[in-house]
Amino acid sequence: MSKSKVLLILILIILFPLLSFPQTETQENLIPVDAFFGYDKRTELNAQEKIKKETENYIQYYVIYESINDKKVTANLTIPKSGTPPYPLIIYEHGMSESKDNEQVWFGSEMLVNNGFAVFSIDADYHGERNISGDKDFVVKMIAGGHFYRMRNMFIQTAVDIRRGIDYLSKNKNIDQEKIGYVGISMGGMIGVMVSAIDERIKAPVFIVTAGNFTEIFPFIRMVPDADEILKIIDPIHYIQRISPRPILMINGLKDTMMLKGAKELFNIANEPKKIIWVDASHIGVPLKEETIKHCIEFLEKIIKNKK
pLDDT value at residue 7:
44
Is it the case that residue 255 has pLDDT exceeding 80?
yes
Is residue 238 helix, strand or coil? helix
φ and ψ at residue 42, rounded to 5 degrees = -80, -15
User: Strands, E, within the chain: which ranges?
Assistant: 48-54, 58-66, 72-80, 87-93, 118-122, 175-185, 204-208, 248-253, 274-279
Query: Does the residue 40 lie in any domain?
Result: yes
Domain range for 24 = 1-31
Is it the case that residue 295 has pLDDT exceeding 60?
yes
CA distances from 163 to 72, 82, 83, 175, 221 (A): 14, 27, 27, 15, 29
Q: Under a CB-based contact definition with an 8 Å cutoff, are residues 188 and 94 in contact?
A: yes
Query: Does the residue 14 lie in any domain?
Result: yes
How far apart CA 191 and CA 199 sit, in angstroms, is 12
Q: What's the start-to-end Cα distance of the chain, in Å? A: 70
Residues 26 and 123 in one domain: no
Q: What is the pTM of this model?
A: 0.89
How far apart CA 137 and CA 221 sit, in angstroms, is 19
Sheet holding 72-80, edge to edge: 48-54, 58-66, 72-80, 118-122, 87-93, 175-185, 204-208, 248-253, 274-279
What is the share, in percent, of the chain residues with pLDDT greater than 70?
Answer: 89
Q: Under a CB-based contact definition with an 8 Å cutoff, are residues 81 and 58 in contact?
A: yes
Kindly report, residue by residue over 30-58, the tens digit of the pLDDT: 457 788 899 999 999 999 999 999 999 99
Residues 3 and 118 in one domain: no
Residues 104 and 16 in one domain: no
Kindly report, residue by residue over 169-203, the tens digit of the pLDDT: 999 999 999 999 999 999 999 999 999 999 999 99
Residues 203 and 286 in one domain: yes
CATH code of residue 176: 3.40.50.1820
Query: Does the residue 187 lie in any domain?
Result: yes
Q: pLDDT band at residue 294, thresholds of 50, 70 and 90?
A: very high
Residues 40 and 184 in one domain: yes
Q: Under a CB-based contact definition with an 8 Å cutoff, are residues 207 and 193 in contact?
A: yes
Query: Does the residue 206 lie in any domain?
Result: yes
- The alpha carbon of 132 is separated from its chain's Cα centroid by a whole number of angstroms, namely 21
Residues 23 and 41 in one domain: no
Residues 93 and 21 in one domain: no
Q: Under a CB-based contact definition with an 8 Å cutoff, are residues 151 and 144 in contact?
A: no
Residues 146 and 18 in one domain: no
Closest CA to 209 of 117, 300, 94: 94
Residues 198 and 55 in one domain: yes
Residues 156 and 204 in one domain: yes
What type of residue sits at position 152?
R
Residues 20 and 106 in one domain: no
Number of structural domains (the chain) is 2
Query: Does the residue 104 lie in any domain?
Result: yes
Ranges 12-26, 105-119, 204-218, 244-258: which has the least confidence? 12-26
pLDDT value at residue 99:
98
Residues 26 and 56 in one domain: no
**Greatest alpha-carbon span in the chain:** 76
Query: Does the residue 308 lie in any domain?
Result: no
